[in-house]
Amino acid sequence: MGRADKVILAYSGGVDTSVCIPYLKEEWGVKEVITLAADLGQGDELGPIQKKALDSGASESLVIDGKERFVTDYAFPSIQANALYESRYPLSTALARPMIAKMLVEAAEKYGADAVAHGCTGKGNDQVRFDVGIAALNPSLKVLAPAREWGMSREETIAYGEKFGIPSPVKKSSPFSIDRNLLGRSIEAGPLEDPMVEPPEEIFAMTQAIADTPNEPDYVEIGFEQGIPVSLDGRALGPIALITELNDRVGGHGIGRIDMVENRVVGIKSREIYEAPALLVLIQAHRDLESLTLTADVTQYKQTIEQTYTNLVYQGLWYSPLKTALDAFVKQTQERVSGVVRVKLFKGSASIVGRRSDLSIYSPDLATYTADDQFDHKAAEGFIYIWGLPTRVWAEKTR
């Protein structure tokens, strides 16, 4: 008896996921492996990937375009929640995993598979996100993770693959481990494992080195409707076009790099380099528009919600009851977060230099220091008396 009959395998075209195909069949008695390559804008050519899967023994090789759903259903809600893990990482990789989990489960249901599989190792966050995501979407499916169990070194993996006609990588493989999609790139391993080592310029692909950025600033006006970015400089754009164009414009000014040591779910600290130009600027601009359109108490309370939300997403709990409840809170707060934010892009930094909204609750009549001032200054005195009363009483009793 094998571990499963028919398996949908999350497939990237790399050696490790390719080796999973014969491994599942030979070692774990799986009768049929169907691969699924999710196109989330990683920029790989998907035609060759399809052939590779079939050559490695897959019975069928699916390539599914998930870009629009990825941005609309995962990135946009995360922007509404201003989600930055440990105040810095905009979850560009983390958001892709629940999307892929959903695509795997949908394929398993469509093709009558009894299990899904992925090529994650046992040290990362992604295995947690896949396993928990899949369990939440369809708890009757088995999850197989061969690379978590096989215990082969890189060389052994390549040698195992060669036995089944999987070609070993032609060029000397890069020391870096890179994950990429439309939202960003995550780069780790190799020399970066020393947190003191400066990231070499060649690892970056979405952001310019400051030395090569224009000497004139660029200004971009980002339009939001109910917390969702919908236009650049007054031009309405669909989700994919908006992210793509903004990545280029922002990245061209050297904006969007992050270098951090982060705390993984499995307890390990890891040094990670990120590029996420559009996503970072969208969160910055969105938060700014909220400052114009939300009340003080909602703005401040939302920050605690945002932190919990971000941790849930990072930790693989996208499909969880608490996350669903927080989604409802965030969605409710976004009703009036519509308007335009003006961002200046220059030499590695994005600065918000203006914002406007028809739904603004900023009141010039109250804020102004000119003769137009409508604020009742005399009312301040009584307010301060009552506001400070407990402190005054305390001081009188204790001095």
Q: Which stretch binds ligand ARG (CB under 6 A): 130-138, 179-187, 200-208, 383-391?
A: 179-187
97 part of the active site: yes
Q: Which CB sits closer to ligand ARG, 232 or 260?
A: 260
| 125 lies in the binding site for ligand ARG (CB under 6 A) | yes
Q: Which residues touch 255 (CB under 8 Å, ≥6 apart)?
A: 207, 277, 280, 281, 345, 348, 349, 350
Shortest reach from residue 15's CB to ligand ARG, in Å: 14
| 315 lies in the binding site for ligand ARG (CB under 6 A) | no
Q: Which CB sits closer to ligand ARG, 187 or 343?
A: 187
Q: Which stretch binds ligand ARG (CB under 6 A): 3-11, 176-184, 331-339, 377-385?
A: 176-184
DSSP 8-state code for residue 189: S
DSSP track, 273-311: EEE-HHHHHHHHHHHHHHHHHS-HHHHHHHHHHHHHHHH
Among 186, 208, 284, 310, binds ligand ARG (CB under 6 A): 186
Shortest reach from residue 181's CB to ligand ARG, in Å: 10
Backbone angles phi, psi at 318, to 5 degrees: -55, -45
The sheet with strand 235-236 has its strands ordered as 235-236, 228-232, 218-225, 339-346, 349-356
Other CB atoms within 10 A of residue 339 CB:
21
Q: Which residues touch 233 (CB under 8 Å, ≥6 apart)?
A: 220, 221
Shortest reach from residue 46's CB to ligand ARG, in Å: 20
Sequence-separated contacts (24+) of 169-176 with Cβ below 8 Å? 169/15, 176/203
Residue type at 384? I
Q: Which CB sits closer to ligand ARG, 177 or 299?
A: 177
Q: Which CB sits closer to ligand ARG, 179 or 290?
A: 179
Alpha-helical regions (H) of the chain: 15-26, 46-55, 67-69, 76-80, 96-111, 126-137, 146-149, 154-163, 239-251, 277-293, 296-314, 321-333, 364-367, 377-387, 389-398
Q: Which residues touch 399 (CB under 8 Å, ≥6 apart)?
A: none
Shortest reach from residue 359's CB to ligand ARG, in Å: 34
How many angstroms separate the CA atoms of 205 and 213, rounded?
A: 14
Q: Residues 39, 126, 131, 288: which is the catalytic one?
A: 126
DSSP 8-state code for residue 216: S
| 83 lies in the binding site for ligand ARG (CB under 6 A) | no
| 177 lies in the binding site for ligand ARG (CB under 6 A) | yes
Each residue of 59-85: b (16+ CB within 10 Å) or e?
Answer: eebbebebbebbbebbbbbbbbbbbbb
Shortest reach from residue 289's CB to ligand ARG, in Å: 26
177 part of the active site: yes
Q: Which stretch binds ligand ARG (CB under 6 A): 6-14, 47-55, 172-180, 327-335?
A: 172-180
How many angstroms separate the CA atoms of 145 and 203, rounded?
A: 29
Query: In sequence order, what are the beta bridge partners of 89?
Result: 85
Q: Which CB sits closer to ligand ARG, 84 or 187?
A: 187
Q: Residues 59, 177, 231, 360: which is the catalytic one?
A: 177
Shortest reach from residue 266's CB to ligand ARG, in Å: 10
Q: Which stretch binds ligand ARG (CB under 6 A): 35-43, 143-151, 175-183, 294-302?
A: 175-183
Q: Residues 12, 18, 61, 97: which is the catalytic one?
A: 97
Shortest reach from residue 226's CB to ligand ARG, in Å: 27
Subset of residues 237 to 276 that bind ligand ARG, contact rule: CB under 6 A: 272
Q: Which CB sits closer to ligand ARG, 26 or 193?
A: 193
| 188 lies in the binding site for ligand ARG (CB under 6 A) | yes
CA angle 238, 92, 67 (to 5 degrees): 35
| 93 lies in the binding site for ligand ARG (CB under 6 A) | yes
Q: Which stretch binds ligand ARG (CB under 6 A): 115-123, 178-186, 345-353, 369-377?
A: 178-186
- Total number of residues that touch ligand ARG (CB under 6 A): 10
How many angstroms separate the CA atoms of 280 and 242, rounded?
A: 14
Shortest reach from residue 97's CB to ligand ARG, in Å: 8
**Binding interface with ligand ARG (CB under 6 A):** 93-94, 125, 177-179, 186-188, 272
Active site residues: 16, 97, 126, 177
